[in-house]
Structure 1
Amino acid sequence: MTTQQQGVGVGKGATLSELYQTSRHILLKTKQDLSLLESSNDSSPDLSTSIRTNLSHVQTLCKDMDSLYRSVASKPQRDLWKRKVEQIAEEADSQREGLDRYFQRRQKRMQEAQERAELLNRANGESSHVMRIFDEEAQAMQSARNSSRMLEEATATGTAILAKYSEQRDRLKGAQRKALDVLNTLGLSNTILRVIERRNRVDQRIKYAGMILTFIIVVAFLRWVR
């Protein structure tokens, strides 16, 4: 008994071999249509609809063949038909994925074209808005430069003030040493010397307090400028 004689008819009584040949013919046709669709960039819905309809038909034929090959008595023949049906199903799935990828690419191209058109419209219709943004950015940059310059000036002023205090401290130390030398020379009492030392400590505290106060004022000014 041949394979075609073993096949059980479905629908109009088609055999397993006839269903297989029909499926191959449809897949060959859909492959050609898909190639035409991709190469010519034909956006006609009729061609894509025809491809999807044919692939759905092949899927139905695969179900019919799946039922038929299971009824084949010979195991080697049954295994052979199983592989053939699986190949048909895999080819149909591959073509369906190819069709989906085509529509994804087409959708992406349409979206990019729409975005370009919208960007061009914004560029033409909102040029004044763009120029205003540029002006605001330029003003912000100028303000940042001015703030930076003010910070540099404030830092330089604080440094100069501290340098002056340091110079005055050195002068006071020199004057105090000279005064002590003179007093020692004159033979002043220890009481007067202790008074002078206490005054020296008070002067130093006042000096350091002034330096700290100046530093605080400079830091507060820098934060205010920022």
Structure 2
Amino acid sequence: MDFSGGGGGATLSEMYQSARRLLLSARDGVARVERLASAPTSSSYSSAPLVGGGGGVGDSAAAEEVRREVAQIQSLCAQMDRLWRSIPSKGQRDLWKRKVEQLSEEVDSLKETLDRHSLRQKKRVLEAKERAELFERANGESSHVLRIFDDEAQAMQSARSSSRMLDEAYETGVAILHKYADQRDRLKSAQRKALDILNTVGLSNSVLKLIERRHRVDKWIAYAGMIITVMVMFIFWRWTH
């Protein structure tokens, strides 16, 4: 039993058959769009962008055609949804309800597939654009990068030279400190010998105190020399860094 939408329009069965034919055509169109997108010739996405996201001219036209068919099917489903509700027989009404709902689900699934394809194409276009910009930037800044490398090499060479100078200064300072230590030991030995001699000849306590005071002064002079040497080394190290 067929039901018309009134005013001499198409019947419910005719609308359903038209929608099924459009659905088959849309499925073939989606498959064609996927093939065009994966073909080697569709890798140049920047030449002709697809409406809603896509690759070349053929890919764009195929996707646009599928979108028109999907829109027609959805329009037919909306009309059939109104018609089956006016069927008097409950059995016929339930049957057409299931048919229309199944058709709507199939076309919605097809639309989701096409939308996912469009999103993938948009992502590919964006990646291709970013790669092209990066390549152009790399070509334009190659001389600048070389200058940076030269500056880094010079800085490393200067750092190595400063390190060698600091090592030499450190070795010199250590040698000076060793000499001060040797002189201090010799002074102590000489002091002990002098005290032994003075005690032997019986010099006065005032002379002994004078010698001890002179020894303390010599010791502080030696300490001051070591401290000044360390400070000079530290200042030189800070200056070279």
Partner of 1:162: 177
Cα distance per residue 1:59-99 (max 9 Å; x no partner): 54555566667777569644675355234312311222113
Partner of 1:38: 37
Q: In angstroms, what is the RMSD of aligned CA positions?
A: 3.6
Change (3 A) 1:212 1:68: farther
Find the aligned partners of 1:154 and 1:70 in 2 and give their Cα distance. 101
Task: Report the alpha carbon displacement of residue 175 of structure 1 after superposing the two structures with TM.
Answer: 1.2
Partner of 2:116: 97
From 188, 211, 214, the counterpart of 2:226: 211
Identity of aligned residues (%): 40
From 216, 223, 226, the counterpart of 2:238: 223
Change (3 A) 1:143 1:68: farther
The count of aligned residue pairs is 219
* One-letter amino acid matched to 1:174: S
Change (3 A) 1:70 1:213: farther
Partner of 1:49: 64
Find the aligned partners of 1:27 and 1:94 in 2 and give their Cα distance. 11
After TM superposition, the score normalised by the length of structure 2 is 0.71
- Choose 67-76 or 103-112, whichever is displaced more: 67-76
Look up the SS of the partner of 2:203 in the other structure: coil
After TM superposition, the score normalised by the length of structure 1 is 0.75
1:7-156 aligned within 5 A:
12-13=9-10, 15=12, 17-18=16-17, 20-40=19-39, 41-42=41-42, 43-44=56-57, 45-61=60-76, 63-64=78-79, 77=95, 78=97, 81-113=100-132, 115-116=134-135, 118=136, 121-122=139-140, 132-156=147-171
Task: Report the alpha carbon displacement of residue 148 of structure 1 after superposing the two structures with TM.
Answer: 1.7
Find the aligned partners of 1:50 and 1:172 in 2 and give their Cα distance. 107
Find the aligned partners of 1:212 and 1:57 in 2 and give their Cα distance. 96
Change (3 A) 1:217 1:171: same
